[in-house]
A and B are shown apart, each in its own frame.
Chain A
Amino acid sequence: MSIIKRRQFLQAASTLSVSSLFPNIIKAASSKPHIIVVGGGFAGATAAKYLRYWSTEVDVTLIEPNANYYSCILSNLVLNNQLALNQITFNYTTLAAKYGITVINQWVASINGVNQTVQLQDGRLLAYDRLIIAPGIRFLPVTGLDTTIIPHAWKAGSQTTLLQQQLATVPAGGKVVMTIPAAPYRCPPGPYERACVIADYLKRTKPGATLTVLDANADIVAERNTFTQAFNVTYQGIIEYIPNVTLQAVDSAQRIAHTSMGSYQGQVLNVIPPQSAAEIIHSTGLANVNGHWAGVNPLTYESTAIPNIHVIGDAQGTGQPKAGHIANAEAKVCADAILRLLKGQPPYAKPVTNSTCYSPISATTASWLTAVFTYDATTKTMKINPNSSGEAAAPTTQNYQHMFDWANNLFADTFA
């Protein structure tokens, strides 16, 4: 095992056509600051892109174990057969070719914040000037839960397909059970959106089938008006919503959720487990917010635990929602701040981020939710602007079309 110096690394890794024409440019490039981005979801991909979109004075390496990324955004629409998984599948070839980002498909084994190195699972050791970690979430253990039988489908991909296939087997008059973890979790409206989409599917294709929603929270976490209306009216007789239910254990073989309010069995059981920042945040010593999330300075997203390491997306602990749209927003704040810091300038003092999402309520209608967050210098936190936050008055077919317009621009702003 040996440390690969940045110059050697770039010479070995570069696939830029310019390298063969102008070898001296690559040598010059080796003196540029090297920024490593770990994780290629909405946060990491956006950060890598915008570092190079805004500056040619930095070298950027994106480390992501998977060649393909399956978007959680819109993935519930795979469950009710409105989208195919390949319609929400992305890769990193455009980021590499268009912005000159070096993409390495590897797991990170460890991070050394003192030496400023990243150890890859294949043994390579890469040095960074600044490191951005955007690893997303891990699931906390649930007694008896085997996710190969009981899908969470809370990281899109094969899990989404598994849940879709299981839902297809539900008989008429059958029963589906799902559990929602206590907040904070990835995508605040997501579980309620999923309940609606599953109910839509049951209503259209499985007469008499029902969905029991067991929520660890005291009430619907996001878009309360929209989902209350959907549960009580649109899906009356199909959805049974029960708040304040603590999941205690799962019988995966029998598809039973044992809870603080009794045991629930279904032909399909969808357990969305409680969540924490991904393992690398914990093993690197960055999980200093409630032992689960990475504390960061919202001006730069630099860790409050280890200098020159930045954390963005679902793993950060600023209190902003954990979702792809705002992860993209955080990534831009982080990229802008790093480029300014590298030039000896202070970060922008009043960053603004925003959260917007559309939620399908049926196969033809959707709602939306939006908010703007502004840096508050007194508390040094991102604060929601109450005048800028709100939800759709009602789910509409027009919103359903706008949902795809929003998502497709967000996908392109992140991966292309």
Chain B
Amino acid sequence: MKRLNFFILIVLMLITTACGGGGGSSSNSNNTPSTPLLVPDGARLLASQCFQCHGTAGISKTSIDSLNKETNKLESELLEMKYSTKTNDIMHLQIKGYSDAEIQAISLYFMSL
């Protein structure tokens, strides 16, 4: 193999690896359905408002819950908190500021990660 072709091959491998890194991890995940999730418009932004407390991409670095695990339960848990009468808790208050559709959008976003 000529040196130039070899170089191109290495570059292609690097690019393929780089591209595959992001997509591959989610498509191999057990939680990801075979068809891509339809994440509603604005979900990226809405979900990012959780990151201040729960960490970027919902991955917490402290004892606050991460949001990237058991994402199929996230919507029901958030709705339960929203319609609970409990108010002496930050999350129970926060979630009352979101519509059911926004909660669904946020949950779908985390499922799509």
Question: Roughly how many angstroms separate A401 CA and B64 CA in the complex, as a whole number?
Answer: 11
Give chain B interface residues in 17-59, CB to chain A under 8 Å.
41-42, 44-46, 48-49, 51-56
A17–chain B nearest beta-carbon distance, Å: 12
A385 and B45 in contact, given A409-B55, A410-B53, A413-B52 (Cβ under 8 angstroms): no
Chain B 80-101 near chain A by CB (<8 Å), digits 1 or 0: 0000000110100111111000
Contact status A354-B94, CB under 8 Å: yes
Contact status B90-A408, CB under 8 Å: no
A135 within 8 A of B: no
Chain A interface, number of residues (Cβ within 8 angstroms): 42
Question: Roughly how many angstroms separate A50 CA and B11 CA in the complex, as a whole number?
Answer: 28
Which residues from B are CB-within-8-Å of A372? Answer: 93-94, 96-98
Question: Roughly how many angstroms separate A413 CA and B11 CA in the complex, as a whole number?
Answer: 33
Contact status B94-A370, CB under 8 Å: yes
Which residues from B are CB-within-8-Å of A393? Answer: 88
Contact status A348-B45, CB under 8 Å: yes
Contact status B94-A329, CB under 8 Å: no
Which residues from B are CB-within-8-Å of A385? Answer: 96-97
Contact status B88-A392, CB under 8 Å: yes
Which residues from B are CB-within-8-Å of A352? Answer: 46, 49, 97-98, 102
CB-nearest residue of chain B relative to A384? Answer: B97
Give chain A interface residues in 387-416, CB to chain B under 8 Å.
387-390, 392-393, 401-402, 404-406, 408-410, 412-413, 416
Which residues from A are CB-within-8-Å of B49? Answer: 329, 332, 352-354
A348 and B54 in contact, given A353-B49, A354-B94 (Cβ under 8 angstroms): no
Contact status A333-B45, CB under 8 Å: yes
Among the interface residues A352, A385, A409, A412, which one has the most CB atoms of the partner chain B within 10 A? Answer: A409
Contact status A405-B63, CB under 8 Å: yes
Question: Roughly how many angstroms separate A413 CA and B47 CA in the complex, as a whole number?
Answer: 13
A336 within 8 A of B: yes
Contact status B42-A374, CB under 8 Å: no
Contact of B64 among A333, A348, A387, A409 (CB under 8 A): A409
Question: Roughly how many angstroms separate A373 CA and B53 CA in the complex, as a whole number?
Answer: 16
Contact status B48-A350, CB under 8 Å: no
A408 and B62 in contact, given A332-B49, A368-B90 (Cβ under 8 angstroms): yes
Question: Roughly how many angstroms separate A368 CA and B87 CA in the complex, as a whole number?
Answer: 13
A328 within 8 A of B: yes
CB-nearest residue of chain A relative to B91? Answer: A370
Among the interface residues A352, A368, A385, which one has the most CB atoms of the partner chain B within 10 A? Answer: A352
Which residues from A are CB-within-8-Å of B64? Answer: 402, 405-406, 409
Contact status B45-A336, CB under 8 Å: yes
A3–chain B nearest beta-carbon distance, Å: 34
A305–chain B nearest beta-carbon distance, Å: 25
A332 and B90 in contact, given A352-B98, A388-B97 (Cβ under 8 angstroms): no
Question: Roughly how many angstroms separate A302 CA and B88 CA in the complex, as a whole number?
Answer: 36
A356 within 8 A of B: yes
B61 within 8 A of A: yes
CB-nearest residue of chain B relative to A408? Answer: B62
Contact status B96-A356, CB under 8 Å: no
Contact of B52 among A333, A409, A416 (CB under 8 A): A409
Contact status B52-A354, CB under 8 Å: yes
CB-nearest residue of chain A relative to B45? Answer: A336
Contact of B94 among A356, A405, A408, A416 (CB under 8 A): A356
Contact status B42-A350, CB under 8 Å: yes
Question: Roughly how many angstroms separate A416 CA and B57 CA in the complex, as a whole number?
Answer: 12
B60 within 8 A of A: yes
A388 and B96 in contact, given A409-B53, A412-B56 (Cβ under 8 angstroms): yes
Question: Roughly how many angstroms separate A374 CA and B64 CA in the complex, as a whole number?
Answer: 24
- Residues of B at the A interface (CB closer than 8 Å) are 11, 41-42, 44-46, 48-49, 51-56, 60-64, 87-88, 90, 93-98, 102
Contacts A385-B96, A406-B53, A409-B53 known; list 9 others, CB within 8 Å.
Answer: A351-B42, A352-B98, A356-B90, A368-B90, A370-B90, A374-B97, A406-B64, A409-B62, A410-B52
The 9 closest A-B pairs by CB, nearest first: A372-B97, A388-B97, A405-B62, A385-B97, A348-B42, A387-B96, A336-B45, A332-B48, A388-B96
Q: List 14 A-B contacts (CB under 8 A).
A: A350-B102, A351-B42, A354-B94, A371-B97, A372-B93, A385-B97, A388-B95, A389-B93, A402-B64, A405-B64, A409-B51, A412-B56, A412-B61, A416-B56
